[in-house]
Each structure stands twice: as C-alpha cells, then as structure tokens.
Structure 1
Amino acid sequence: MKAAAVPNRGILPGFGLTLGITIFYLSLVVLIPISALLFNSTGLTWGKFAEVATDPRVIASYKVSFLTAGAAALVDAVLGLLLAWVLVRYDFPGKNIFDSLVDLPFALPTAVAGVALTSIYAKTGWMGSWLAQLGIEVAFTPLGIIIALMFIGIPFVVRTLQPVLQELEADVEEAAATLGSGRVRTFFSVILPQLAPPLVTGFALAFARGIGEYGSVVFISGNMPLKTEIAPLLIMSKLERFDYAGATAVAIILLLISFLLLLGTNLLQRWMRRNAG
C-alpha cells in the first residue's frame, strides 16, 4: 500500500496570514502616522500652506537639508565602499574592533555625537584650531553639517555592501587579470557593476537618514536662519511657538520631496539591477 501523500507545507504561515500581518504592521508604524500628519493638519488651510511653502526661510532650510544630506551620502558611498572592501578582502590586527566601530553611530545617541563633533571642530577644538589656521571653518557652517551627517550615515553604506562583497567570486577578477585587464579596468568593468545596486541602496539609506537627522546636527550647525538652519529644526521651532499649522506644512513638504527623491532612487536601483542581470 502506498503511504498517504503528505501535503507540502512551509514553515511559515500561508500567504494570506503573512500578508495580513505585514499590512497591519506597516499600517501601524508607517501609514497611520503619515495619515495623521496629512489629515490632522490643525487648522492648516491652502492659503497657509502656500504661505509656508514660499517662505524664504523655509526654502533655505530645505536647501540646507537636502544639499548637505546629498553631499554627505555621496562621500559616504565612496568611503563606505573602501571601508567595506578593506574589512572583507583583507585580514589585519584589530579587524574585529574596526568592524565593530562601524556600528558605533547606531548605538551612540545623536546628541552626544553632535556635542563631540562640535567640541572637536570648533575654532578652539583639536581639529578646528588646526583647520582654522588653513582658513577652513567647520563648526557652524554647512561643512560641519555634512561631517555630522557623514558620521551617522556611514554604517548604512558599509553594512549594505559587506554581504555583497563577501559573495563576490574572486575567479572573475582573476580571469580578467589573466586576459590582460588592469586593476582599474577590472574594478570598473567587473566589480563595480555588481556593487552598483547595493551601493545605490546604501546611498539612499544614508541620504534618507540625513534628511531627517536632528540631534547630531543641531549643535554643530549653529542654527542660523537662511544659512545653516535645517528643516527638522525649523519644524521644532514652529512647534515651540505653538504654530502647529506651520510645522505641519513644513513636514508635509519635506515628506513629499523626500518621497519623490527616494522613489527616483529606487527606480534607478531597479534599472541597474535589471541591466546587471
């Protein structure tokens, strides 16, 4: 007699249950807060929204936030690639310590990081005094904001690239070298196309984190309107003055711009993955 066929059941629950749990979780932590921001506008009218959107101080804060976050993410993409490459491809004393230090910005409170960076890069600080002799000011300038955002964004790039680098086969690089390809050509023709999608992902994560960063930036920026004031700080300033409608308008504009930029980044990442495949 044939044994009864045992149904092929997966370890996890079925699609319906897992999809329901996923939608519930996303709704609870993402969709409901965003919906509350859009619908509970606390007296926000179209006139007030247009007034806030065209305010020179608001526009300047967006420029500071997005330009500094983009610059920091670009630098993190380059330095993060180099750091991930060294941690994966080479063995050296203290490697585990360096690998653990990459996650330090995740564990360190952002306010502590902001105070530490300000004390180091101020004109009387260790690095700031040396840079001041060269005519370079860091604290209370956009450059200081970029350095703070680089500090909190570098782990996103490194941790995104490390698993991909660990799975890369060295045989392809050796084959390219055998065929006469130099190191630079091998990197740009063989390695970089495979690393491009995770590199874009790391850039997007660092960029998104930089846009909404507050604690590490508020100390080193100096918070000068029209110069070094970031959008999250402007939102907090309006809330402290009980201008809930103005704070909501700034938050909605920031949300929409961030969504469009991240959507474009995801589309670019999908295109790169399809071409790489």
Structure 2
Amino acid sequence: MKKSIKKLLALTLTGAFLVGALTGCGKSGEDDKTITVAASATPHAEILEYAKDKLKEQGYDLQVTVFDDYVKPNEVVESGDFDANYFQHVPYLESFNEEKGTHLAVAGKIHYEPFGIYPGTKKSLDEIADGDSIAVPNDTTNEARALLLLQDNGIITLKDGAGINATVNDIAENPHNVKIVELEAAQVARVVDETAFVVLNGNYALAAGFSVGKDALAYEKSDSEAAKTYVNVIAVKEGNEDSAKIKALVDVLKSDDVKKYINDTYDGAVLPYEE
C-alpha cells in the first residue's frame, strides 16, 4: 500500500513538474516577444511609438511606459521589471551605476540633441568682431558643450584635454577676444538682443522660437566629441545587450525609416546618431 502511494505521489509530482515546465516555456516564449521599455515622454516615447509597427512586423509587441523622472526608469530595468529604458545619455548612466551600484549597460546609441550657435545681434559667424560677447549656459555639462562647439567653429581654442569638463578657464586661445557671458541655461535665449551670439541646446532653442534646422548658425555634428558623449541610448541590465528582442529593438530604432521620422519631426532639435 505504502509503495503504491509513493508511486502515485511520484507520478503526481512528475506530472505537476511537467505542467509547470510547459507553462513556463509558454510564458517565456510569450515574454520573448514582448519588449517593455521605460522612457521619457519627448522625444523618446514618441520615437518608440513610431517604431511599434516595425517591430510588430517582426512579431514583437513593444510596450512603452512614460516616466517623468530620471531615477525610476533605471531602477525598473535593474530589477528586471522592464527590459530596457530610453531616456539617458552615457555619462548619466555611468554615474548612476557608480552611485547606486546598478548594473546597466548600453545596448544601442540612438540619437542626440545638439547644441547650436544662434544669432543675437550678429546674423552670421563671419560677422564676429573683436570684443563680441557670446552667451553660454553656466552649468558644468552644458558650458563644456558650448565651449567645444565654439572651438569646433574656430572662435576659441581650449587647452589640450579639457574635453567635456571644459570651463572658461580652459580657453587657451581667443583670437577675437570674445567675452563669454555665463548664464543659467534657461536665461541664455533672453539675451539675444544684447550679445552677438547665444549657444543653446535643442529644447531651449525651440522654446525661444528658434527653428533648430533653419536658424542655427552651427550645431554639434554627429561625429563631434559632445555628440559621441551625450548620445541618448537604449539601456538594459548587463548581460541582456545581445538578446534577440533587444537587438531587434535597437535595429529598428537605427533603421533608415526611424531616422527619417526623427529628422522630419524634430526640426534638427533631435538628430539620429551615426556611429
């Protein structure tokens, strides 16, 4: 009797294990075709929404959740609740990993939001004269980007190695003796009638009524140091970079179709990143 009960129990447990395994396999297969992404609203979620149909053609269901902060999207990827996020650039990701002990990795570099030089009292960079003033943002990251852009356009030269940490103290050559006016980022556009030029990032340029594509006298190119540094990425938990669904997501976001959507939609305030 005991032997029969043991045998029956063993068969029951074996059957339960098989059912669980089969159920798990089915769920896993379904999950492999669902891509969950945490994103900022603009432009990230908008770009993802556009990409949905392309991924659907490949059998993937892209589910996008918008977050309005810069912490939670990383936490939900680290925890495994989401497959990926799309909202941040590489320096922020690296800083977050260091500070929070997370294990986030770059799966794909998608777009950047370029800084531009815009007209103030002068309408062309060729008009620059000795003693002209140029307004730039005064926070560490944005000031460095502004100075690098001025360097790329021959207005100043920075000390070797200044790079993305550059400040006005790193200006080595200033042939036009331009005065760099440092202002809080949101205030820069307000001095267009007082300075020869202003240097703005895309969102402040749009807010000031500038057309990035039409009005910028110069802007960060895709191969510039700043673009390479501040490119916005698809981030995943380490080890998931080469999963089939993440590779599919990145491939679609880097496709010519999505690049065209970005170029047509954001008037130069958002540009596809070219490796």
Quick check: TM above 0.5?
A: no
TM-score, normalised via structure 1 length: 0.25
The structure with more strand, counted as a fraction of residues: 2
TM-score, normalised via structure 2 length: 0.25
Q: Which has the higher contact order (CA 8 A, sep 6+)?
A: 1
The structure with more helix, counted as a fraction of residues: 1
